[in-house]
A and B are shown apart, each in its own frame.
Chain A
Amino acid sequence: MAKTILNLKNLTIKFGGVTALNSVNLELKEGEILALIGPNGAGKTTVFNLITGVYKPTSGNVFLGDVAIDGKKRHHITKLGIARTFQNIRLFGDMTTLENVITGTDVRNKVGLIGSILGTPRSRREEKASIAKAHEILKFIGIDEYADRLAKNLPYGVQRRLEIARALGTEPKILLLDEPAAGFNPQEKVELAAIIKKIRDAGYTILLIEHDMSLIMGISDRVVVLDFGQKIADDLPSVVQNDPQVIAAYLGVPEDAS
């Protein structure tokens, strides 16, 4: 198997008296699509927030390659190669689609305030390159026709895809998708699955939170199941699907059976 690119070691986080995640271990291999599933409140988004630096773990570490990234600044983590989307869409609504993606690409740009004012050759070069890259990403995701529309006026499905495009703009190694198919109809889900596969084939590693089982079973290489902040399964989709513990977590257990 490919080498481990992201490694969560004994990750624990407590909010007051609540242990949201309890000693979770998780390895993400380069080039795979790993699905993170679990009932509501299991701690899936908390995992994302820990990886991206929104929360600091109470104990445990997050390693990107060999580097511990827990405790680093959020924008720095993005620069190191982790980008995410949001469960509830958080685009920059007053910007156009293109500008949203360019804002993502800016993390790789170097020009500062003074360079921008003076319009140095580097600033022009970077601007040009960013615009070209953003268009390329929009085409890749299939929403380039909306490039000049304001993000807040976009159809819902396009907004969701723009979230992915903006994240890709930061040139991540790892893409974290937080319920990218939420609110999608079956047709849109099929299209999304194709896009996610396409992104993976382009060389990205994907960690995905999703509720839609058919989508997960269709695209993921491996599935990790969280329940009440504990990892209860980590295996191939087909295995996890039939794991009694997982079924119990989702459907509950009859009282006499437990």
Chain B
Amino acid sequence: MINLRDKGAQFWERSNRPVRVLTVFAIVAVVAALPYAGNTFLQTPVAAFDAVLVYPMGMFILMALGLNVVVGKSGMLDLGYVAFFAVGAYTMAILGTRTGLNTWEIMPIGIAAAMFAGVLLAIPTLRLRGDYLAIVTLGFGEIVRVSALNSEAIGGALGIAGVPFPPGLGFEYQLLDQKYFYWTIVVMILLVIWVIRRLTVRRPGRAWESIRQDEDAAELMGVSTYKYKIWAFVFGAAIGGGAGVFYASRSMVIAPDNFTLNTSILILACVVFGGMGNIWGVIVGAAILGYLPDRFRFLSDARLLLFGLVLVVFMNLRPEGILPRKKREKAIVKKGSGA
């Protein structure tokens, strides 16, 4: 199979600044034009294509990027990631329906609430590793959902309806034409990519990377593993919370059923499928896994079978994901050491 990751990285390294800038603009332009591709083979039956671009695809990408910091970069298996998404969404829904605040004003509050939830989860679980951590995070995700389910004050099983749309910024967000929602989420994704890339090549990224590879050695080399594990959780939570706020504001109605373990698993699947630790892989993975079920919706229940089949086949062909994490060395092929 062609090694897309290395081809891409090589292209990037060999290009000069103008070429790079042009490439980025070209990609962003293509991505931004996607809502207009609704009448091609990409068209999703049943659901409107522009709506699918927002949810699941855009949301999945955003969440997968956040989860990737925790799972892919820092190596902590989090099975309750949807909890942060839920915290963000509920913050939006509660404040949006009961106060005069609009989506953009609630956004920082929702992110802060999710970060706080991240700290709450991180502190008791920090001493746990591997399977044990996974179980506790799984429990955390369920606690959040079940709490929402049983709190009549926030709608119980019915959830909260009538969450307001975001106020327009010189345009109006519309239900039937969701391209503004889509462009907004593209901007959010670009922002997250930019932040993650900055972190990755600097001190926090190295700290996370060293924790993933050998936590004890990392600590003995002076990495404050405690601090950076909390940061990983909190940072991941912030992205999940931000996605949640936007999701609630777009969906208008949210209920505990939107935040089941299934979503956590699916986002984790996006990360693993795309390539743990590689943000481009994660983006591609989330886009595909978000898109496929809607593309094949005409198969009704059989689409999930197909979905599973795609996962199984792909994970066999590319066990490390579509675009695995960096393994290539900077000095490209010194002595015929192969790809």
B-binding residues in A (CB < 8 A): 52, 54, 73-75, 78-79, 83-84, 86, 90-96, 99, 102-104, 106-107, 109, 111-113, 116-117, 119, 123, 126-127, 148-150, 153, 166-167, 169-170
A-B contact pairs, 22 of them (CB 8 A): A54-B220, A74-B219, A75-B222, A83-B222, A91-B217, A92-B210, A94-B326, A94-B327, A99-B206, A103-B209, A103-B221, A104-B222, A106-B203, A106-B222, A113-B235, A116-B202, A116-B203, A116-B205, A117-B199, A123-B202, A127-B202, A167-B221
CB of A133, distance to nearest CB on chain B (Å): 14
B207–A96 CB distance below 8 A: no
> Per a CB cutoff under 8 Å, which of A91, A103, A119, A153 touches B206?
A103
Tell me, in angstroms, the Cα distance from A15 to B195 when the chains sit together. Answer: 46
B216–A94 CB distance below 8 A: no
CB of A114, distance to nearest CB on chain B (Å): 10
A113–B206 CB distance below 8 A: no
Tell me, in angstroms, the Cα distance from A207 to B209 when the chains sit together. Answer: 29
CB of B196, distance to nearest CB on chain A (Å): 9
Interface size for B (C-beta < 8 A) is 32
> Per a CB cutoff under 8 Å, which of A90, A109, A116, A150 touches B217?
A90
A90–B214 CB distance below 8 A: yes
Check B20 for interface membership: any CB of A closer than 8 A. Answer: no
Tell me, in angstroms, the Cα distance from A90 to B329 when the chains sit together. Answer: 20
A94-B209, A103-B207, A103-B223 known; A86 vs B199 contact (CB < 8 Å)? no
With a CB–CB cut-off of 8 A, which chain B residues contact A99? 206, 209
Check B331 for interface membership: any CB of A closer than 8 A. Answer: yes
With a CB–CB cut-off of 8 A, which chain B residues contact A112? 203-204
Check B231 for interface membership: any CB of A closer than 8 A. Answer: yes
B202–A150 CB distance below 8 A: no
Tell me, in angstroms, the Cα distance from A86 to B329 when the chains sit together. Answer: 25
Instruction: Please name the residue on chain A nearest to B213 by beta carbon.
Output: A92
Tell me, in angstroms, the Cα distance from A104 to B219 when the chains sit together. Answer: 10
Check B225 for interface membership: any CB of A closer than 8 A. Answer: yes
B330–A109 CB distance below 8 A: no
A94–B213 CB distance below 8 A: yes
Tell me, in angstroms, the Cα distance from A90 to B235 when the chains sit together. Answer: 28
Chain A CB within 10 A, most for which of B210, B222, B327: B222
With a CB–CB cut-off of 8 A, which chain A residues contact B210? 92, 95, 103
A78-B221, A83-B221, A107-B223 known; A149 vs B329 contact (CB < 8 Å)? yes
CB of A47, distance to nearest CB on chain B (Å): 15
B198–A117 CB distance below 8 A: yes
A74–B220 CB distance below 8 A: yes
Within 8 A of A (CB), among B73-116: none
A92–B220 CB distance below 8 A: no
Check B224 for interface membership: any CB of A closer than 8 A. Answer: yes
CB of B66, distance to nearest CB on chain A (Å): 14
A170–B330 CB distance below 8 A: no
Within 8 A of A (CB), among B210-268: 210, 213-214, 216-226, 231, 235
With a CB–CB cut-off of 8 A, which chain A residues contact B202? 111, 116, 123, 127
Instruction: Please name the residue on chain A nearest to B202 by beta carbon.
Output: A116
Instruction: Please name the residue on chain A nearest to B223 by beta carbon.
Output: A75
Check B179 for interface membership: any CB of A closer than 8 A. Answer: no
Tell me, in angstroms, the Cα distance from A112 to B228 when the chains sit together. Answer: 10
With a CB–CB cut-off of 8 A, which chain B residues contact A94? 209, 213, 325-327
B329–A148 CB distance below 8 A: yes
With a CB–CB cut-off of 8 A, which chain B residues contact A149? 329, 331
A111–B203 CB distance below 8 A: yes
With a CB–CB cut-off of 8 A, which chain B residues contact A75? 219-225
A102–B206 CB distance below 8 A: yes
Chain B CB within 10 A, most for which of A92, A102, A107: A92
Tell me, in angstroms, the Cα distance from A96 to B47 when the chains sit together. Answer: 46
